[in-house]
Amino acid sequence: MKTVLEVKNLSFGYKKGTLLFDNFSLSLKKGEIKAIVGASGAGKSTLFELILNNLKPYSGEIKKSQVSEVFQDPYSSFHPSYSLLNQIKDVAAIDLLPAYLKSINLEYELLLKLPHELSGGQLQRASILRAMLMRPELLLLDEPTSALDNVIQLEVMNMLMQNLENTGMLLITHDMELARWCADEIILI
């Protein structure tokens, strides 16, 4: 399978002399889920910022394919004054919309609303929906199911796992049970 993310010898820190990452490497292929697990402040979200090129490493190399991301806070992922459907249409084709809506238990009518009109769990599912409709080769997931109840969490993770033939997924989670259940490899940081 195609490699969709290659991180080689990455070094980065916020304070001089204190490194969050020192010679860190990882590789991710289509069809794989790797979970990044660690305590708060360990650098999990920072790793995503480095992968997205929002932060510059001290050293190392990051190569990635077309990427889409799901952030922990869905309210910061959407513009507050446009319907969710319009925001999804701006960045993605919607031909697979009906199938994805059904698989994550989300009603089409909710997409016609503004972000603040949805619950956190509904908005997070819309964020995951948008990311999947973008058809990324690399999907970065930062605590994507933390706002969801257990049943919806299972539905969402099953949908994500059913789409692994086209995507590699890097998952940040505090939920070790979730990581053990879905990940091919768990990386502790």
Q: What is the CATH number of the domain that holds 170?
A: 3.40.50.300
Give the residue numbers spanning the domain of 148: 3-188
- Global confidence as pTM: 0.92
The helix (run of H) or strand (run of E) holding residue 69 is strand 67-70
Q: With bands split at pLDDT 50, 70 and 90, how would you rate the model's confidence at 15? A: confident
Angle at 79 between CA 154 and CA 130, to 5 degrees: 35
- Residue 26 in tokens: 């990882």
Alpha-carbon separation of residue 44 from 21, 72, 77, 146 (angstroms):
10, 12, 18, 15
C-alpha 12/C-alpha 21 separation (Å) is 5
Q: With bands split at pLDDT 50, 70 and 90, how would you rate the model's confidence at 181? A: very high
When pLDDT is averaged across residues 89-117 and rounded to a whole number, the result is: 93
Average pLDDT score over the chain: 93
> With pLDDT > 90 as the criterion, what percentage of the chain qualifies?
72
Output phi, psi for 8, to 5 deg: -125, 125
Lowest mean pLDDT among 16-30, 70-84, 120-134, 150-164: 150-164
Indicate whether 147 pLDDT > 80: no
Q: With bands split at pLDDT 50, 70 and 90, how would you rate the model's confidence at 113? A: very high
Q: How many CB atoms lie within 10 A of CB 13?
A: 15
Alpha-carbon separation of residue 188 from 42, 45, 131, 170 (angstroms):
9, 13, 25, 13
Total domain count, the chain: 1
- Residue 90 in tokens: 């701006």
- Residue 172 in tokens: 């940040």
- Residue 164 in tokens: 């692994």
Indicate whether 63 pLDDT > 80: yes
Indicate whether 51 pLDDT > 90: yes
